[in-house]
Structures are given as structure tokens and as C-alpha cells.
Amino acid sequence: MHSMQFESELKKLGLTDKEAAVYLASLELGPSPVQNIARKAKVVRATTYVILEHLMKQGLVTKFEQGKKTMFSAEPPRQLLRLLERQDEEIKQKEKELEEILPDLQMIMKASGEKPTVRYFEGREGLKAIRQETVMYSAPGDTLYNFTPTDHLFAVFPDEDDYYRQRIAKGLRSKTLFTTRSEKLKEELLNTRYNRLAERRFIPADKFSVTSGMTIYKDRIVIGSFASTFVGAVIQSQPMADMMRALFEVAWMGAEKFNKKP
């Protein structure tokens, strides 16, 4: 491997350009005075001395006296592993420090008032990403509250098997208010054996004539439009999500009259 390539690899370990050059020069020369190392590394002598002192602190170079000369010697390359170990230790320490201050940061956020965030998605793939995110950020046992125009949803996502398998595998429950003009699909979705984790209530399409759907879970409200233009939005706000869950329950009770057996 060319020396420039070695320098490039050393920089990936956290050394600067000049530190990598000085370490490689010292490694190639063996025990040497600072002026020889500086000449080979093509770094001015004063800077080379400072760099050697820094490399000594990192355990990559040692210093000793030979007669009246001060000599520097590179430690075996295996010592470079200590750079990674030290970085790992520093990351763990920073993680520990962050864990300690997170509660205080959360209090600051709450004190300043929770500000809703809104993210937008476009196209069929954008809507698909929202649905995957719903599964990802939910925890086993969570409940998803859905307003679903089923005919429009199935037109965009005709193959729902993967999504439902992921939900079931994660143990996510759902309560869904749905519309459809298909009597067969209506009966299928109302069949409790279809999914033991799902509760559904039907609303006639003329009572809920929309082409957009909504899912409420945790602190998020997900809205997707299944019309000719596919767009979606995720609103993240605990108070808003709580409000929409409460409205869902009101609508859920109101839908009971459409689901009574004759």
C-alpha cells in the first residue's frame, strides 16, 4: 500500500494529516531525532515536536535519551487499536452523560410548551413509508385507531398482506371505522375471525363519503389521501392525538347503529 493510502487510513482512525505523516515517518525510520522525522514527514521541526508530544499522549510514540540526543520511536502499529478503544470509551461516556441530562431536557421542552411537528409525503411510495413508520414506532400491544375508506385504500394498495402481517407479528391492535360499497368485503371485514387483534365497525359510504384515511397512534395523527393525487401528512402532537382519539371513540359509538344485526 502506498504511503498516501496509509495516511488516508490513519486519518480514518482520527489522526490529522500531519499526525499521520509524522507517525508513518517515525515508524519507517525507527528511533530517530526530531529533525530526521520532520524531514521525512515534510513537516517543520517545531510542529513535528508538538505532534510527537501529542502522539506520545496517545500511546503511539515513546521518547528516550541516547547520549545527548532525544530520540523518538513509534510504538508497534497494534497500538493503533487503542485509538478505536478510546473513541469507543468516549462515546460510551457521552451516552452516559446524555442519559443523565435527558430528563432535564424533556422538562425544558414541556415547560416551553409542546409544539406540533408536521411532515409531508408524496406519491404511492410516500404513503407506503408512512404505513411502515406506523408499525415501526408502535410498541407491541398498542392500538391503532383508523378511519378507512376501504375501496379507495385497496385501489392504492391492492396487496395488504405484508402490512397486516407486520402488524399482527408485532401484536398491534386496531379499531377501524371503514366504508365500502362491496357487501362481500363488508362481511369479510366484520368477521371477527379475520383478525383477532382487530375490531371494525362499518359506516355506509353515503354517510362517510371521503377519499382520505386517518390513523391515530401514540402521539401521532397520520392522514393519507387516496384520490388521484397521493399525499400524506404525519402530525406529531400528544394533545392533538389525544383529542382525535376522543373524537374517534364518539364516532365509534355512533357507528354502532349501522352494525346491529337485523
Q: What is the pLDDT of residue 187?
A: 87
The dotted CATH code for 3-81 is 1.10.10.10
Per-residue pLDDT band at 1 (split at 50, 70, 90): very low
Of 155 and 162, the one with more pLDDT: 155
Mean pLDDT, range 158-186, rounded to an integer: 86
For the chain, the domains span: 3-81, 117-258
CA distance 216 to 176: 10
In the predicted model, is pLDDT for residue 258 greater than 60? yes
CA distance 29 to 217: 65
Q: Which amino acid is at 229?
A: T
Q: What is the pLDDT of residue 222?
A: 95
Mean pLDDT, range 141-166, rounded to an integer: 86
248 C-beta neighbours (distance < 10 Å), count: 18
Given the DSSP bridges, would you call strands 143-149 and 117-122 parallel, antiparallel or unpaired?
unpaired
The DSSP annotation for 181-239 comes to S-HHHHHHHH-GGG-TTEEEEE--TTTS--SEEEEEETTEEEEEEESSSEEEEEEE-HH
What three-state secondary structure class fits 64? strand
Per-residue pLDDT band at 244 (split at 50, 70, 90): very high
Of 223 and 194, the one with more pLDDT: 223
Q: What is the pLDDT of residue 8?
A: 66
Contact partners, residue 173, CB within 8 Å, separation at least 6: 141, 142, 143, 144, 197, 198, 199
Q: What is the pLDDT of residue 113?
A: 56
Q: What is the pLDDT of residue 261?
A: 67
In the predicted model, is pLDDT for residue 217 greater than 90? yes
In the predicted model, is pLDDT for residue 225 greater than 50? yes
CA distance 41 to 22: 5
Contact partners, residue 231, CB within 8 Å, separation at least 6: 120, 121, 122, 126, 224, 225
Mean pLDDT, range 190-206, rounded to an integer: 80
CA distance 58 to 255: 70
In the predicted model, is pLDDT for residue 139 greater than 80? yes
Q: What is the pLDDT of residue 160?
A: 65
Mean pLDDT, range 1-13, rounded to an integer: 59
Q: What is the pLDDT of residue 2?
A: 40
In the predicted model, is pLDDT for residue 5 greater than 70? no
What three-state secondary structure class fits 108? helix
Domain 117-258 fold is Endonuclease; Chain A (3.30.870)
In the predicted model, is pLDDT for residue 183 greater than 80? yes
Is residue 178 within 8 Å of residue 145, measured between CB atoms?
A: no
Q: What is the pLDDT of residue 219?
A: 92
Given the DSSP bridges, would you call strands 212-217 and 198-202 parallel, antiparallel or unpaired?
unpaired
Quick one: angle between helices 161-169 and 123-137, nearest 10? 10
Segment 10-53, tens digit of pLDDT: 666 667 888 888 888 888 888 888 889 889 888 888 898 898 88
Segment 72-123, tens digit of pLDDT: 888 877 777 777 777 777 778 878 887 887 777 767 666 555 678 899 999 9
Q: What is the pLDDT of residue 175?
A: 94
- Mean pLDDT score of the chain, rounded to an integer? 83
User: Within 13 Å, how many C-alpha atoms sit on residue 150's CB side?
Assistant: 22
